[in-house]
Amino acid sequence: MTDDPRIGPPHFGTEREMLRTFLDYHRDTLAMKCAGLTDEQLRQQSMPPSTLSLLGLVRHLAEVERAWFRRVFEDRDAPMVWSDRIDFQAAYDASSSTRAEAFGAWEAEVANSRRIEREAESLDLAGHQPRWAQEVSLRMVMTHVLLEYGRHNGHADLLREGIDGTVGA
């Protein structure tokens, strides 16, 4: 990748600044891995039996953002984007999806997650995690979502290389 629009995290900062900027860096990494590709290329699957695609990753991470920010801190009953129940695998089937649909949902969830974090008085903000039936902190949620992006951006690296040979950060 020659054009890298990402802003790297600072070398020093508060815990909150570090979590926020590393999470945004990984969000930007996902967008960068998808840049310049057609809908058809974004839907290209890795290899059978996997249905994993870049567009599927974008859809999946929209669900992750919704489940871990919106549903934990705002609305426990907010419906998931692509499934009637919390089924993160359902988002991977992007065979009929478009960039506009997937990125529209993802960008809306990212904006909402950023707002929740920005408005929270501290990382100790508690929310209810329905799957575990217990309280979790904003700190834990930000760390968990950051790890999700890190893992899936590794998948995005391999998917992008398979589509057009592009490699890089």
Please tell me the predicted confidence (pLDDT) of residue 41: 96
| Average predicted confidence (pLDDT) for the chain | 91
Q: Which long-range contacts (CB under 8 A, 24 or more apart) does 45-48 make?
A: 46/155, 46/158, 46/159, 46/162
86-128 residue pLDDT tens: 666 666 778 889 999 999 999 999 999 999 999 999 999 999 8
Question: pTM of the prediction?
Answer: 0.92
DSSP 139-164: HHHHHHHHHHHHHHHHHHHHHHHHHH
Question: Based on the structure, what is the number of domains in the chain?
Answer: 1
Residue 155: domain span:
15-163
CATH number assigned to the domain comprising residue 144: 1.20.120.450
Mean pLDDT of 140-164: 95
Q: Is residue 6 part of a domain?
A: no
Residue 132: pLDDT over 80: no
Residue 24: pLDDT over 70: yes
Q: Is residue 143 part of a domain?
A: yes
**Residues belonging to the chain:** 169
Q: Is residue 67 part of a domain?
A: yes
Q: Is residue 7 part of a domain?
A: no
Q: Is residue 125 part of a domain?
A: yes
Q: Is residue 140 part of a domain?
A: yes
Provide the pLDDT confidence category of residue 4 given band limits of 50, 70 and 90: confident
Residue 32: pLDDT over 80: yes
Cβ atoms of 136 and 129 within 8 Å: the answer is yes
Mean pLDDT of 76-90: 77
Say how far apart CA 77 and CA 126 lie, in whole Å: 17
Mean pLDDT of 144-156: 96
Reading the block at residue 28, the tokens are 């930007």
Of the candidates 18, 151, 127, the one whose C-alpha atom is nearest the C-alpha of residue 75 is 127
Q: Is residue 110 part of a domain?
A: yes
Q: Is residue 169 part of a domain?
A: no
